[in-house]
Homo-oligomer: A and B are copies of this chain.
């Protein structure tokens, strides 16, 4: 089968010791020029590559980091992963991706599996189901490097990278208000998630600043973060069945935004005439939709990059780190037809 050449093979072939070969390959000054040349050329010829696993065992590090997200088939995360990869690649780290599919159990299994020794650090965006953090706390207390991004928790003190969810939600809600909508509903993920909380706050603040009363019947949570279509469907239907039907929906998630449009289309509810729509999404396809969707876009790529830089700093730090940063990046609102100015009602 597949048997790569080792340092031993070279040593044997050249009548040297493994230590000499090792040193020759790393250009140690203790090795004569001729021996070096001999070894290096032989290694070149037989395409010698140091065994990364042996190195990992020796150096007690694997030069790989893991990222734990709920779904890579989500534009925000695939963009973030591109950012992660770009930094990791340049710094000589492998990236291992694992998906929780919004399941608490899967998340635990993945993290345990990864952490034992096979990765040097973790980049985490919490699953929608997760509201306990012992599996991270244990690791973190032992000094294992973890950086949270996007969906974070206050319960663990480490570096964090987030979008300004509050401001993003505020801006898009305000945009809806400015466009003439007054009865704005909010469709969001599990209530305990950091992003849900912040976006809800931004939404509330925008209402407050514009003297629109907050109505908690207008807030619907999808606890599976958009994984289950029926959940969104039911939520939206119950919104539309309210006595005082909303005239706009602000949705707080990629999948939610899109499936919101799908449900409205299915129910033949006209967007934006009957109900306007705007929400968080990083999909490049939203502008092609019917109607083009107004979205808040997160700087996913940059978030991935920043989080990775912080993680590598953590990994390569000599001393235990006790000062942690929380980096907040700005979002951007893209206005499209789905939130076009409200037409005066002809009753």
Contacts and interface: CB of A to CB of B under 8 A. Distances in A.
Interface of A: 1-4, 49-54, 56-57, 62, 64, 72-73, 75, 78-79, 81-82, 85, 94-99, 112-113, 116-118, 139, 142-144, 258, 261-262, 265, 283-285, 287-292, 320
A118 B52 contact: yes
A152 to B, nearest CB: 21
A39 to B, nearest CB: 18
A320 B1 contact: yes
Contacts of A112: 49
Contacts of A53: 53, 56-57, 62, 117-118
B290 A2 contact: no
B116 A94 contact: no
Given A116-B52, A288-B258, A81 B85 contact: no
Contacts of A94: 96, 113, 118
A285 B257 CA distance: 11
Count the copies: 2
A115 B97 CA distance: 18
Nearest to A109: B89
Contacts of A113: 94
Contact of A258 (B50, B62, B261, B285): B285
A158 to B, nearest CB: 13
A289 B79 CA distance: 22
10 contacts: A2-B144, A51-B116, A53-B53, A53-B57, A53-B118, A72-B82, A85-B99, A94-B113, A285-B285, A289-B290
B62 A73 contact: no
A330 to B, nearest CB: 22
Contact of A2 (B64, B78, B118, B143): B143
A33 to B, nearest CB: 27
Closest 6 CB pairs of A and B: A290-B290, A73-B78, A49-B116, A2-B144, A1-B143, A2-B142
Contacts of A116: 4, 49-52
A195 to B, nearest CB: 20
A283 B94 CA distance: 28
User: Which among A265, A287, A289, A320 has the greatest number of chain B C-beta atoms within 10 A?
Assistant: A289
Contact of A288 (B64, B85, B289): B289
A160 B113 CA distance: 30
A4 to B, nearest CB: 6
A78 B82 contact: no
Given A1-B320, A85-B99, 6 more contacts: A2-B144, A94-B118, A97-B97, A288-B289, A289-B289, A290-B291
